[in-house]
Amino acid sequence: MANESRRITPEQLRSRWWFDNPEHPGTTALCIERYMNYGITLDELVSGKPIIGIAQSGSDLTPCNRHHIELVKRVKDGIRAAGGVPFEFPLHPIHENVRRPTAALDRNLAYLGLVEILHGYPLDGVVLTTGCDKTTPACLMAAATVNIPAIVLSGGPMLNGWRGSERVGSGTVVWELRKRLAAGDIEYPEFLARITDSAPSVGHCNTMGTASTMNSMAEALGMSLPGSAMIPAPYKERSMVAYQTGERIVGMVWEDLRPSDILTREAFENAIVVCSALGGSSNAPVHINAIARHAGIEIDNDDWQRLGHQIPLLANVMPAGIYLSEEFYRAGGVPAVISELLGAGKLHGEVITVNGQSLAANAAGRETSDDDVIRRYANPLVEAAGFINLKGNLFDSALMKTSVIASDFRRRFLSRAEDPDAFEGRVAVFDGAEDYHARIDDPDLAVDENTILVMRGAGPVGHPGGAEVVNMQPPEALIRQGIESLPCIGDGRQSGTSGSPSILNASPEAATGGGLALLETGDRIRIDLRRGEANLLIADDQLAQRRERLASRGGYIYPPHQTPWQEIQRSLVEQHDRGMTLEPATKYRDVARR
Ligand code: FES
Ligand code: MG
């Protein structure tokens, strides 16, 4: 339960400094008169009501979150019913599919903007509206830095996509159909029609991509109301929980319940475990590590393997499973997964959440109502479904999502008699996505069914923000022969909706001195999943010579900056394993404390 001794009085509201400050009558009057000019009354501003910000992430540019333009009406109703005054303001737009060169650039930009707003305006608490991939981490990172009472409201996933009686999952269908397009099985009009089937309503991706993962992570961390993360956007329950979220943030202000009370080390450990059971996005470690760093807690990719790898896959949702968000919600959603994991003793149940109750109390009586969609812990879809953190002479850290290793891939690359957890192959190396598209079908590359595809120049510095391009498909000629996937390694990320068993987020990246910069097409790499190793098979002195040659050429060359922010971000950004945070930003804590 919330700590009653922390309750604050109206005189202690942060907003009083702006609206009821006898020491500065002139500036106080200036704050008051301009908010009154659109009809806010003097009483609302000065009578001791909490002023609640609503960070609006929806806009015409961010269609995944656009539903929040409607939902905030219910949030405001809830805030007013609980005695607060709502102030809505825009978050810098972040749209995953459209933003060029990558939406990842916007995560840190939106974070910075939100920190400045929450620090500089008369807000006692904030509702963070989230949805599309990076909107959720941007908001949670800012909440961790600023540390005023904050609650997350997801806009919810879209309804299921259908083609006839077949479920069509957003994002995931693209990765499948582009192989069909490449193989010449379908033409572009059919490709487009089938992809648009996957997005039948307002909301974010209906698969367990980065959006559903990160909103589920917000709930697992305790930062949104229990059961709220995965309510489909158009359902009536979505509007109801918007109202309840508005009501609750006012209570959180009076209880002085802050992100630092909720975002504890135990909460982050819970998030890692829940992510594994969900078959969550490979982008989650980047974002969770970032939120943790802003909360002053060191979580690294070793923690992801140590706590997460042995956790089984319970959520039978694409891309790792077969269902979509509507079935997941109806089977019990995140609380049902938490309930299974608590029963298995895998979570810290005592941690406090935004409703003032513990994680365990919130999950009580909420077990799965459909144990095909949300599996029992003893009967999972996949054993040991979490990430493996690989290391070696090519990088210090790179992640492999084991829940999506398909049986075909296991048969062709793993499960060999000499070592069922290792594979070795000749590499074909690409410098960024354009180079890949230009050369993948070039016969001189000699890509065959044993080749490992490597993408470099796709990290936070090389491709400003880091590109989701590592899940490369084989050459068209191989796809036509039935070889639909090859092992991929890269210093970029991949879409959370992809079911590709790639080795991702290699840190450090080629552009900052990582070993991928030393690779040459034709080299051989050995991956050992059991030992957590990925190594270029080359003598140490040869590797040292390559390093010297690269240094004499001035290091790995990447494209020039296109905008001021790209240059600023590149000069400050940390690597994927450290959350791709802005290095100077992670030392700030409690910046809005009065
Ligand atoms: Fe926005 Fe998937 S593209 S949620
Ligand atoms: Mg994505």
Mean pLDDT of 431-451: 95
* Lookup: tokens for 166: 């077949």
Cα 163 to middle of ligand 1, angstroms: 20
- Measure Cα distances from 91 to 56, 87, 221, 348, 378 in Å: 6, 13, 22, 32, 42
133 CB under 6 A from ligand 1?
A: yes
Residue 3 confidence (pLDDT): 67
> Does the structure show a pLDDT above 90 at 422?
no
Residue 415 confidence (pLDDT): 64
Q: Are 389 and 301 in contact (CB under 8 A)?
A: yes
> Does the structure show a pLDDT above 80 at 468?
yes
Cα 260 to middle of ligand 1, angstroms: 28
Residue 417 confidence (pLDDT): 57
* Lookup: tokens for 377: 């812990």
Which residues does 300 contact at the CB level (< 8 Å), separation at least 6? 289, 397, 577, 578
**Tens digits of residue pLDDT in 524-542:** 999 998 899 999 999 999 9
Cα 107 to middle of ligand 1, angstroms: 14
Residue 416 confidence (pLDDT): 66
Cα 120 to middle of ligand 2, angstroms: 31
Q: Are 21 and 94 in contact (CB under 8 A)?
A: no
338 CB under 6 A from ligand 1?
A: no
Residue 102 confidence (pLDDT): 93
What whole-number distance in Å separates Cα of residue 405 and Cα of residue 65?
31
Comparing 146-160, 163-177, 263-277, which segment has the lowest mean pLDDT? 163-177
103 CB under 6 A from ligand 1?
A: no
Which residues does 297 contact at the CB level (< 8 Å), separation at least 6? 263, 264, 265, 268
Cα 96 to middle of ligand 2, angstroms: 6
Nearest to 546 by CA among 564, 573, 571, 519: 519
What whole-number distance in Å separates Cα of residue 181 and Cα of residue 183?
5
Question: Which protein residue has the closest C-alpha to ligand 1 atom 2?
Answer: 205
> Does the structure show a pLDDT above 60 at 2?
no
Looking at the CA of 202, name the nearest ligand. 1
Q: What is the DSSP letter of 8?
A: P
* Lookup: tokens for 147: 């540390």
106 CB under 6 A from ligand 1?
A: no
303 CB under 6 A from ligand 1?
A: no
What whole-number distance in Å separates Cα of residue 569 and Cα of residue 59?
24
Cα 479 to middle of ligand 1, angstroms: 27
Mean pLDDT of 178-185: 89
Looking at the CA of 135, name the nearest ligand. 1
Phi, psi of 350, rounded to the nearest 5 degrees: -85, -10
Beta carbons within 10 angstroms of residue 573's beta carbon: 24
Residue 4 confidence (pLDDT): 72
Residue with tokens 């120049």: 457
The enclosing H or E element of 153 equals strand 150-154
Residue 409 confidence (pLDDT): 74
Residue 401 confidence (pLDDT): 85
Looking at the CA of 97, name the nearest ligand. 1
Residue 594 confidence (pLDDT): 55
> Does the structure show a pLDDT above 60 at 1?
no
Strands 387-390 and 397-401, bridge-based pairing: antiparallel
Residue 410 confidence (pLDDT): 74
Which pLDDT band, with edges at 50, 70 and 90, does 234 fall under? very high
Cα 117 to middle of ligand 2, angstroms: 26
Cα 100 to middle of ligand 2, angstroms: 13
Helices (DSSP H) in 222-304: which residue ranges? 236-255, 259-262, 265-278, 284-294, 301-303
What whole-number distance in Å separates Cα of residue 425 and Cα of residue 427?
6
Residue 496 confidence (pLDDT): 81
Mean pLDDT of 123-140: 98
Phi, psi of 306, rounded to the nearest 5 degrees: -60, -45
Does residue 463 sit in helix, strand or coil? coil
**Tens digits of residue pLDDT in 550-592:** 999 999 999 999 999 999 999 999 999 999 999 999 999 999 8
273 CB under 6 A from ligand 1?
A: no
What whole-number distance in Å separates Cα of residue 586 and Cα of residue 581?
7
Number of the ligand 1 atom closest to the C-alpha atom of 62: 1
**Tens digits of residue pLDDT in 55-91:** 999 999 999 999 999 999 999 999 999 999 999 999 9
Looking at the CA of 233, name the nearest ligand. 1
What whole-number distance in Å separates Cα of residue 347 and Cα of residue 349?
6
Which pLDDT band, with edges at 50, 70 and 90, does 500 fall under? confident
Residue 511 confidence (pLDDT): 98
> What angle (nearest 5°) sits at the alpha carbon of residue 331, between those of residues 327 and 333?
90
Beta carbons within 10 angstroms of residue 291's beta carbon: 33
Residue 117 confidence (pLDDT): 98
Looking at the CA of 98, name the nearest ligand. 1
Mutate to test the pocket of ligand 1, among 57, 59, 64 (most ligand atoms within 8 A of CB): 64
Mean pLDDT for all residues in the chain: 95
Cα 413 to middle of ligand 1, angstroms: 31
Number of the ligand 1 atom closest to the C-alpha atom of 131: 4
Number of the ligand 1 atom closest to the C-alpha atom of 97: 3
Residue with tokens 């959006």: 211
Beta bridge partners of 128: 55, 152
Mean pLDDT of 103-126: 97
Question: Which protein residue has the closest C-alpha to ligand 1 atom 1?
Answer: 132
Mean pLDDT of 402-406: 77
Which residues does 445 contact at the CB level (< 8 Å), separation at least 6? 428, 439, 475, 521
Residue 274 confidence (pLDDT): 98
Global pTM reads 0.97
Cα 78 to middle of ligand 2, angstroms: 32
Mutate to test the pocket of ligand 1, among 204, 208, 287, 324 (most ligand atoms within 8 A of CB): 204
Which residues does 174 contact at the CB level (< 8 Å), separation at least 6? 195, 198, 497
518 CB under 6 A from ligand 1?
A: no
67 CB under 6 A from ligand 1?
A: no
Residue 5 confidence (pLDDT): 80
**Tens digits of residue pLDDT in 469-480:** 998 999 999 999
**Tens digits of residue pLDDT in 202-228:** 999 999 999 999 999 999 999 999 999
What whole-number distance in Å separates Cα of residue 219 and Cα of residue 351?
12
SS (H, E, C) 521-558: CCCEEEEECCCCEEEECCCHHHHHHHHHHHHHCCCCCC
Sign of the torsion angle spanned by Cα atoms 506, 177, 172, 111: positive
**Tens digits of residue pLDDT in 320-359:** 999 999 999 999 999 999 999 999 999 999 999 999 999 9
What whole-number distance in Å separates Cα of residue 527 and Cα of residue 515?
15
182 vs 290, more confident: 290
211 CB under 6 A from ligand 1?
A: yes
Looking at the CA of 156, name the nearest ligand. 1
ipTM above 0.90, yes or no: yes
Which pLDDT band, with edges at 50, 70 and 90, does 242 fall under? very high
132 CB under 6 A from ligand 1?
A: yes
For the chain, report the end-to-end CA distance as a whole number of angstroms.
24
